[in-house]
Structures are given as structure tokens and as C-alpha cells.
Amino acid sequence: MTNVHDASPDGVVVRARGLLGRTLHGHGAAVRITEVEAYGGIEDPASHAFTRTPRSEIMYGPPWRLYVYRSYGMHWCANVVTGPSEIAAAVLVRAGEVVDGLETARARRGGVADVALARGPGNLARALGLSVDDLGTDLLTGDGVRLGPAPEVSPPISEGPRVGVSKAADVPWRFWIAGDPTVSAYRRSPRAATAPGQDVER
């Protein structure tokens, strides 16, 4: 577990958990990450990188880059490439609490409750003003979109099955800050096969 070797699947999990509580700065707004999902790259059927294509190429590159993709034709989803290059692992940022640029986020989201401003991958990207223009942005040195430092105190973390994925949906690689109101509700993918004996918590 303390084996944080990049090449191990555990490394992805460790990095995913490590993103919780960190701040993600977007365009004119920033959120404190409260919910993430880990994707194991080439070893994970649910990952876009499972099949190497031009779209997923970015994930095979250096870590700490931003991978943005469009879902259902209208939603943008933001991922943090965690690397290493050969594994193409990434972490989907699912939800966050707006901590800066509140007015900007509100304007973009059109009058929803503050806790829902960045609830859900698509909403979070919208609140931060993220789009395909930010694809490949280096989150450590980027001027606009960037990642803040880790919190001094690690937040309490809960884990569970991933949301919305149609494959490997029973892998408990979804992590969120326990009790945080901005965390999106769990919903299993309609296409996900029923996992025997895999009860959904909460």
C-alpha cells in the first residue's frame, strides 16, 4: 500500500485519493475537489485509454496533464492524467466545492444551489469554464488551469463503485470526501452488467 510505484494499479488509487481536498483552478473560478474516480488506463476496460486512439493519446503522455473529453455530445468532463506514460492512468474529477470565483461559477451554472455548482463531471467543467481548449494543459505549471497544493490535513475519505461506467463498474475506485454535500449521488450505468453480490452502499 505504501508501494506508490507508478506502475502499480495502487499508484492510481493513491493519486486519486491524493487529489481529494486539493484545489483545481479553472478560468475565473476554482473548486476544492471532493469527488474523484480512478481509471487504470490500459488495464482498465472502463478507461478511454484501454484502447489506444488519437483521443486517448494524451493520457499516454506526461502526467499531470488535463484530459478533457465530451460526453453525450454536450457535457465536458475533466480528467487529471496521473501517468506513467506506459499505463495511461487518469483520474476523473467528478465534483467539487467552489471556493473561488463563486459569482463566475454561478453565472455559468445559471442559478442552481451553490453546493450543486460543481456537482457532476459535466457541471464541474462548466463551472470552471473548461473545454477542449484546455486539453493537454500542464496542471502544475499552467497559468490558467492548474492544481493547488495538497491540504495540510487529509480529509476523511469514503470509497465505492464508479458511477456511470458500463465496464468494470464493480471496481471500488470512486473516492469522495465523507459527508461532503457537493458529492454527486451514486448512479449505476444503465449498461452496466449486474454485479452479483456487489451491493451498493449507502
**Given candidates 77, 87, 130, 171, which one binds DNA under the rule CB under 7 A?**
77
Nearer Cβ to DNA, position 8 or 166? 166
Q: How far is the CB of 73 from DNA (least distance, A)?
A: 2
**Given candidates 21, 122, 129, 161, which one binds DNA under the rule CB under 7 A?**
122
| Using rule CB under 7 A, residue 185 touches DNA | yes
Rounded to whole angstroms, the maximal C-alpha distance in the chain is 47
| Using rule CB under 7 A, residue 73 touches DNA | yes
Give the C-alpha separation, 39 to 184, whole Å: 18
Nearer Cβ to DNA, position 74 or 153? 74
Nearer Cβ to DNA, position 133 or 154? 133
Give the C-alpha separation, 87 to 162, whole Å: 19
| Using rule CB under 7 A, residue 189 touches DNA | yes
Q: How far is the CB of 39 from DNA (least distance, A)?
A: 5
Instruction: Please name the residues in contact with 35: beta carbons below 8 A apart, sequence gap of 6 or more.
Output: 20, 93, 94, 95, 96, 174, 175, 176, 177, 180, 182, 183, 184
Binding to DNA (CB under 7 A): which residues in 90-119?
90, 92, 112
Q: Cα-Cα-Cα-Cα dihedral of 126, 180, 165, 54, to 10°?
A: 40
176: β partners: 35, 158
Backbone region of residue 88 per phi and psi (left: phi > 0; alpha: psi in -120 to 50; beta: other values): left
Binding to DNA (CB under 7 A): which residues in 13-72?
37, 39, 46-49, 51, 53-56, 67, 69-72
Nearer Cβ to DNA, position 154 or 179? 179
| Using rule CB under 7 A, residue 85 touches DNA | no
Nearer Cβ to DNA, position 1 or 48? 48
Judged by DSSP in three states, 61 sits in coil
Residue 88: which of 100, 80, 96 has the closest Cα? 80
Count of other CB atoms within 10 angstroms of residue 181 = 13
69: β partners: 77
Binding site for DNA (CB under 7 A): 37, 39, 46-49, 51, 53-56, 67, 69-75, 77, 79, 90, 92, 112, 120-124, 162-167, 184-185, 187, 189-191
